[in-house]
Structures are given as structure tokens and as C-alpha cells.
């Protein structure tokens, strides 16, 4: 068989080598000084020719455009301005909708994410300075605000409260994102690795993953058929099937009976293996959850002292579960009893610098200090004689609370309407403000003058923190991620409170001005067509003074 390079002609491999040699010779000749000079002369002649020809062609083109524009009728100008106004109006409406929904300008977002890389405008972030030690970096990471979702300590019952609201109003009070977080919580609280050993727990493990409420309820009944002492099945029925608080309490009492029995069994064998320890943690979670919800049922049914006792006993029995924020349930119940000394004792324990804060802690502390001076407080009198020590303490407490969560005062002062609180909240966000005001507004109203003092002083907080996203006064800077997270947690029919208020993007102003200007031109063209034609010709004279006069004169 013949070789691939032997065909009677020069072999292809040798032809490629010859072409490369010729290319190298041309490149060396082009690099010579005389070749560079020749190229420079040719480029100069080309530029000189373009400098002579381009103005002539440009002048001819401008003359042709001027002739075309001078022959247009007023109807064309009217159609042009109306179309321009309509298109700019559509862009303005879309920009406004995008800003209200997502907090950013669509045109700016597209420009930054797509156009800037194309034109080489990608900014290189400077390297981190090496002057900080590892310990300082760790402290900075701990002080950085995080958009962490927290379980709402006073969340309502789905069947007895959320569902009834939806039946009456036809509006869904919970978002899919919020319910998905609750499903994850239920799987973490109420399931463990040993569930596969018990058929009822296996059914409940699948039930917590179900999206359809009816499917979850059906699975709970299936679990009870397999095991009549399945505590988590009673919990699900209490949360979702019970249509009244009394029905929910009845299910929770059955869950408590079953949960205590299972908890005692787990205590006896928790040291046998890691699986038994995980089962004990799960059974502890179930027991704490049931007792807490029973205390909340007693609070809602008016048995407040019984509710307070149940919460205190729960906090004594499980002192290490302070992350569940049971003390916030206790604070609300004690405020309903008007046991302000007991409220102060709870605050003394939990309003500590080393513990995470919440709106309930900060605003309850402000309420107690306002209670001491609000009845006799008068802005005119305070302006004349100055603030007393107690009034200064009250105002400082209000400023501290407002800095932590600036959304709360508008709900307490009823400047914004309330909705049902979500099952999860974002600390310092609008969702936390809704949850706090929903339960504590009545306590502020009960203390005479407290809301008046809040109304007179809360806005003074913002003078101390002119740049809240960069630097705080008593707390770390306000997180910039709260608006996006709150929009996921709160229903769409609720207007999310935004802090600090964002300025309208440039393109909203630009499109609004363009729409208004073109609409005004359309109106003037429709009302005064001849006058607007004269105006258009005058504009042409200004734009093209060389060729326009003769053409316009002939037109």
C-alpha cells in the first residue's frame, strides 16, 4: 500500500513545512526597519485620504437626512412622539415593578452583570490586608451580621389559626419558603436514624416530607393505626387538623402522655449506643415541643397563670434548651398578667451582652422604662425643663430598641397594617417586627402614654446612625440582606418595610422624564401641528447649520 505522503506530488507534510518557512521569512522582512517605515507611510496616506473624503460624505449624508426630515408631515411627528411615549412608559412601568419587587433596577442589573464584562469593566477586588491577626479575623467573622432564619417562638397553629384566616379571607398567610423551613425543622426535631426500626415512626418520617396537608394528616392516622402511642402523629394532628385551640390542646395532651412514656424508655437505654443517644435527643425534642405548645394553648384559652407555671417548669427541667427562646413566650404571658416585676427578673437574666438579642427583649426593656415616666411625660414640659434621669433612661432604651429593629415602631404606632406572623423570622427584619407587634401591641396600649413617648422619640435614633449599613451605635451595622429574606418569609399582599429607604434608581427617573417629555411633545403636535413643524425645522437648523438652511428654505 502506498505511503500517505507519497502521491506523485510534494508530500503534504513537506508542503506544510515549506509554508512555515515562507511565513517566517515574511515575518522577518516585516520586522525590518525599512518595512516598518513603509507601513507607517501607507497608514499616513490612508488617514489623509479618509480625512479628505469623510467630511464630504458626511456632508452629503446630512443633506440627504435633512431633505428627508423636511418632507415629513405633522402626522408623522405625532405618531413618532406617541410611540416614543408609549414605549418609554412601558419601560418605566416595568422598571418600577422590578424595583418594588426586587429592590434593584433591571437595566442597571443587566448592565452590571452582562455588559460590564463585555467592555472589560470587571473590577479586581484588592487583596485582604495582612495586618490583621488570625484572632482578629475570627472576631470579625463572629461580629458579621448573618441573615439566619429563626423559628418564631410564638408561631400560630396552622389548622386552628392560619387555615381559618385563609378560609375567611381567601389569602394564603404562609409562603412556600416559610413552610419549607418548617418542614425541615420538623424533620430535624421529630426524626432520627432509628425510625426505620419502628413502622409508625417510618410512616411519620415520610409524613413530615409531604407537601400536601391532607396527605400528612392521612399519614398521621396511619401511624396511629400502627402504634396508638405515636407522639409525633398526635403533634401533626394538633398542628394541622385541629380547627380550634381546644381541639389542638386535646391532641397535645395525648401527645404528652405518649411522649413522656417514650422519653422514660429512652432515658433508661440511651447509653447503650450512639443510635440510642440520637433517639433520646429526638424524644427530648418531642417532649419539649409538646409541653411548650400546651403552655401556648393555655395562654390562648385564658389560663395565663397555668401557662406561666408550665413555661417556668419547662425552663427548669431543660435549662440547656435556651436556644428555643421559651423565655419570649414567658415574657408575653407575664406582660398579660401585668407582672412587671417578674418581667424585669426575666430580662435581667436574658438581656445579657453575651446572649443574642431579639425585638422582644429590646422593646420589652424599653416598655418597662417607658412605663415609669410615660404617664406624666410631655414634650413641651421636657423641652422647657430638660429630661429627668428616668426620662433619659427611657429614651435611651427606646433608641436602643429602634436601632436593633427599626421596623417595629410603625406597627406599634399603627402606621402600617399587621398581618399574621410567619412561622420563621429574621432578626432585625420586618418579619420579626410583624411577629413582635402582633402579640405585644396590646401591652403597649395598656400602659398609658407609652405609645405617645415612643411616637415622640423613636425617630431620633436615626440621627445617631446616619450610615446604618456601615456603622452601628450600640449594635453591629444593620444587615443589608433583610429585605430579600423578608420578601421570602412574608406573604405577597403585605408591603415589606425596607430600612434604610433606598433611593429610586437613575433609570426610573430617566424613563419617567422621557415618557413625560415625549407625551408632552405628542400633545403639542396634536394641538398645534403647524407650530411644531416650525419647531422641528428650527431644531434641524441648530443641529445641521451647514446644509440645513438651503434645504429648509427650498422646502
pLDDT digits (tens, 9 = 90+) for 406-433: 999 999 999 999 999 999 999 999 999 9
Pick the last residue of a domain from 277, 297, 324. Answer: 324
Cα separation of 180 and 174, whole Å?
10
Tell me the sheet residues that pair with 149: 426
Could you tell me if 267 and 360 lie in one domain? no
Question: Which of 137, 149, 175, 76 lies closest to 487 in space, CA to CA?
Answer: 175
pLDDT of res. 147: 76
Tell me the sheet residues that pair with 426: 149
pLDDT band at residue 7, thresholds of 50, 70 and 90?
Answer: very low
Question: Which of 160, 158, 216, 208 lies closest to 187 in space, CA to CA?
Answer: 208
Pick the last residue of a domain from 503, 518, 539. Answer: 503
CB-side exposure of 285: number of CA atoms within 13 Å? 16
pLDDT higher at 281 or 24: 281
Helix (H) / strand (E) element for 150: namely strand 149-151
Mean pLDDT of 501-518: 72
Helix (H) / strand (E) element for 426: namely strand 424-426
Mean pLDDT of 67-92: 74
In a domain, 99, yes or no: no
Could you tell me if 345 and 297 lie in one domain? no
- Farthest-apart Cα atoms in the chain, separation: 115
Listed in sequence order, the DSSP H helices in 351-407 are: 359-371, 379-385, 389-404
pLDDT band at residue 294, thresholds of 50, 70 and 90?
Answer: very high
Using an 8 Å Cβ cutoff, are 424 and 181 in contact?
Answer: yes
Q: Whole domain around residue 206: which residue ranges? A: 154-324
Helices (H) and strands (E) in the chain, counts: 27, 2
Could you tell me if 320 and 353 lie in one domain? no
Could you tell me if 304 and 171 lie in one domain? yes
DSSP 184-229: HHHHHHH--GGGGGSHHHHHHHHHTT-SSHHHHHHHHHHHHHH-TT
In a domain, 309, yes or no: yes
Cα separation of 239 and 254, whole Å?
13
The torsion of the CA quartet 450, 451, 456, 457, rounded to 10 degrees, works out to 70
Name the phi and psi angles at 425, rounded to 5.
-130, 160
Mean pLDDT of 80-101: 77
Could you tell me if 224 and 253 lie in one domain? yes
Pick the last residue of a domain from 289, 324, 359. Answer: 324
pLDDT of res. 420: 95
pLDDT of res. 119: 53
For residue 292, give every residue at least 6 positions away whose Cβ sits within 8 Å of its Cβ, in sequence order, or none.
Answer: 311, 314, 324, 326, 329
Whether 6 shows a pLDDT value over 80: the answer reads no
**How many C-beta neighbours within 10 Å does residue 542 have?**
8
pLDDT of res. 405: 93
pLDDT band at residue 527, thresholds of 50, 70 and 90?
Answer: confident
In a domain, 382, yes or no: yes
Could you tell me if 357 and 319 lie in one domain? no
pLDDT of res. 125: 40
Could you tell me if 234 and 258 lie in one domain? yes
Mean pLDDT of 44-51: 63
Mean per-residue pLDDT of the chain:
80
Helix (H) / strand (E) element for 55: namely helix 33-70
Three-state SS at 408: helix
Whether 46 shows a pLDDT value over 60: the answer reads yes
Cα separation of 82 and 539, whole Å?
19
pLDDT of res. 121: 47
CB-side exposure of 194: number of CA atoms within 13 Å? 13
Question: Which of 153, 136, 75 lies closest to 421 in space, CA to CA?
Answer: 153
pLDDT of res. 127: 37
Question: Which of 365, 313, 312 lies closest to 335 in space, CA to CA?
Answer: 365
Q: Could you read off the pLDDT of 154-172 as tens digits, one per residue? A: 999 999 999 999 999 999 9
Could you tell me if 404 and 467 lie in one domain? yes
pLDDT band at residue 225, thresholds of 50, 70 and 90?
Answer: very high
Three-state SS at 149: strand
Cα separation of 231 and 253, whole Å?
10
pLDDT higher at 373 or 99: 373
Question: Which of 535, 345, 365, 341 lies closest to 450 in space, CA to CA?
Answer: 365
In a domain, 485, yes or no: yes
Could you tell me if 315 and 360 lie in one domain? no
Question: Which of 350, 342, 349, 400 lies closest to 370 in space, CA to CA?
Answer: 400
Could you tell me if 272 and 386 lie in one domain? no
For residue 508, give every residue at least 6 positions away whose Cβ sits within 8 Å of its Cβ, in sequence order, or none.
Answer: 92, 95, 96, 99, 105
Whether 75 shows a pLDDT value over 90: the answer reads no
In a domain, 106, yes or no: no
pLDDT higher at 18 or 206: 206
Cα separation of 115 and 316, whole Å?
60
Q: What percent of the chain has pLDDT over 90?
A: 42
Whether 401 shows a pLDDT value over 50: the answer reads yes
Q: What percent of the chain has pLDDT over 70?
A: 74
Could you tell me if 299 and 380 lie in one domain? no
For residue 326, give every residue at least 6 positions away whose Cβ sits within 8 Å of its Cβ, in sequence order, or none.
Answer: 153, 292, 311, 314, 315
Cα separation of 406 and 404, whole Å?
6
Using an 8 Å Cβ cutoff, are 262 and 231 in contact?
Answer: yes
pLDDT of res. 65: 63
Whether 379 shows a pLDDT value over 80: the answer reads no
- Gyration radius (Cα) of the chain, Å: 37
Q: Which of 44-58, 66-80, 141-155, 363-377 has the lowest mean pLDDT?
A: 44-58
Number of domains making up the chain: 2
Whether 297 shows a pLDDT value over 80: the answer reads yes
- Measure the CA angle with vertex 384, ends 380 and 387; round to 5°: 85
Whether 488 shows a pLDDT value over 70: the answer reads yes
Cα separation of 333 and 309, whole Å?
10
In a domain, 235, yes or no: yes
Helix (H) / strand (E) element for 424: namely strand 424-426
Cα separation of 232 and 252, whole Å?
10
In a domain, 258, yes or no: yes
Cα separation of 74 and 537, whole Å?
12
Mean pLDDT of 85-98: 78
In a domain, 516, yes or no: no
Listed in sequence order, the DSSP H helices in 71-123 are: 74-102, 106-110, 116-118
Could you tell me if 403 and 443 lie in one domain? yes
Mean pLDDT of 452-459: 90
Amino acid at each position: 500500500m502506498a505511503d500517505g505522503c507519497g502521491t506523485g506530488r510534494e508530500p503534504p507534510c513537506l508542503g506544510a513545512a515549506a509554508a512555515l518557512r515562507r511565513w517566517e521569512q515574511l515575518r522577518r522582512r516585516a520586522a525590518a526597519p525599512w518595512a516598518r517605515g513603509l507601513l507607517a507611510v501607507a497608514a499616513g496616506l490612508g488617514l489623509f485620504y479618509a480625512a479628505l473624503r469623510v467630511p464630504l460624505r458626511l456632508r452629503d449624508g446630512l443633506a440627504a437626512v435633512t431633505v428627508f426630515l423636511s418632507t415629513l408631515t405633522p402626522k408623522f411627528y405625532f405618531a413618532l412622539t406617541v410611540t416614543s411615549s408609549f414605549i418609554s412608559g412601558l419601560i418605566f412601568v416595568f422598571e418600577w415593578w422590578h424595583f418594588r419587587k426586587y429592590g434593584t433596577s433591571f437595566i442597571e442589573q443587566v448592565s452590571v452583570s452582562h455588559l460590564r464584562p463585555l467592555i472589560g469593566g470587571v473590577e479586581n477586588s484588592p487583596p485582604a490586608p495582612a495586618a490583621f491577626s488570625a484572632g482578629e479575623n475570627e472576631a470579625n467573622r463572629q461580629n458579621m451580621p448573618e441573615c439566619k432564619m429563626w423559628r418564631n417562638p410564638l408561631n400560630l397553629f396552622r389548622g386552628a389559626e392560619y387555615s381559618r384566616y385563609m378560609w375567611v379571607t381567601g389569602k394564603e398567610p404562609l409562603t412556600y419558603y416559610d413552610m419549607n423551613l418548617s418542614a425541615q425543622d420538623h424533620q430535624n426535631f421529630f426524626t432520627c436514624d432509628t425510625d426505620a426500626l419502628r413502622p409508625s415512626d417510618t410512616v411519620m418520617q415520610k409524613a413530615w416530607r409531604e407537601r400536601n396537608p391532607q396527605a400528612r394528616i392521612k399519614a398521621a392516622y396511619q401511624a396511629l393505626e400502627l402504634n396508638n402511642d405515636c407522639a409525633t402523629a398526635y403533634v401533626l394532628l394538633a398542628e394541622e387538623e385541629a380547627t380550634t385551640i381546644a381541639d389542638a390542646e386535646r391532641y397535645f395532651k395525648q401527645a404528652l402522655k405518649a411522649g413522656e412514656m417514650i422519653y422514660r424508655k429512652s432515658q433508661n437505654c440511651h447509653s447503650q449506643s450512639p443510635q440510642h443517644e440520637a433517639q433520646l435527643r429526638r424524644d427530648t425534642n418531642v417532649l419539649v415541643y409538646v409541653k411548650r405548645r400546651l403552655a401556648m394553648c393555655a395562654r390562648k384559652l385564658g389560663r395565663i397563670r397555668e401557662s406561666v407555671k408550665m413555661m417556668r417548669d419547662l425552663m427548669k427541667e431543660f435549662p440547656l434548651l435556651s436556644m428555643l427562646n421559651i423565655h419570649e413566650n414567658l415574657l408575653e404571658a407575664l406582660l398579660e398578667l401585668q407582672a412587671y416585676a417578674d418581667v424585669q427578673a426575666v430580662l435581667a437574666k436574658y438581656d445579657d451582652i453575651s446572649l443574642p438579642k431579639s425585638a422582644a427583649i429590646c422593646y420589652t426593656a424599653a416598655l418597662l422604662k417607658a412605663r415609669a415616666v410615660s404617664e406624666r411625660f410631655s414634650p413641651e414640659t421636657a423641652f422647657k425643663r430638660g429630661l429627668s434621669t428616668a426620662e433619659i433612661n427611657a429614651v435611651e432604651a427606646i433608641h436602643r430598641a429602634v436601632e436593633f429593629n427599626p421596623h417595629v415602631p410603625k406597627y406599634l404606632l399603627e402606621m402600617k397594617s399587621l398581618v399574621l406572623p410567619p412561622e420563621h423570622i429574621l432578626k432585625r427584619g420586618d418579619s420579626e417586627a410583624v411577629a413582635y407587634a402582633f402579640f405585644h401591641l396590646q401591652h403597649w396600649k395598656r400602659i398609658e402614654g407609652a405609645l405617645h413617648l415612643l411616637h415622640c422619640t423613636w425617630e431620633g435614633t436615626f440621627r445617631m446612625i446616619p450610615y446604618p449599613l456601615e456603622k452601628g451605635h450600640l449594635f453591629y451595622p444593620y444587615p443589608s440582606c433583610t429585605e430579600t429574606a423578608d420578601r421570602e418569609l412574608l406573604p405577597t399582599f403585605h408591603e415589606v418595610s425596607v430600612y434604610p429607604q433606598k433611593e429610586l434608581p437613575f433609570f426610573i427617573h430617566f424613563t419617567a422624564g422621557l415618557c413625560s417629555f415625549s407625551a408632552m411633545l405628542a400633545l403639542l403636535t396634536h394641538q398645534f401641528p403647524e407650530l411644531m413643524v416650525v419647531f422641528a425645522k428650527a431644531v434641524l437648523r441648530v443641529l445641521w447649520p451647514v446644509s440645513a438652511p438651503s434645504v429648509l428654505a427650498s422646502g
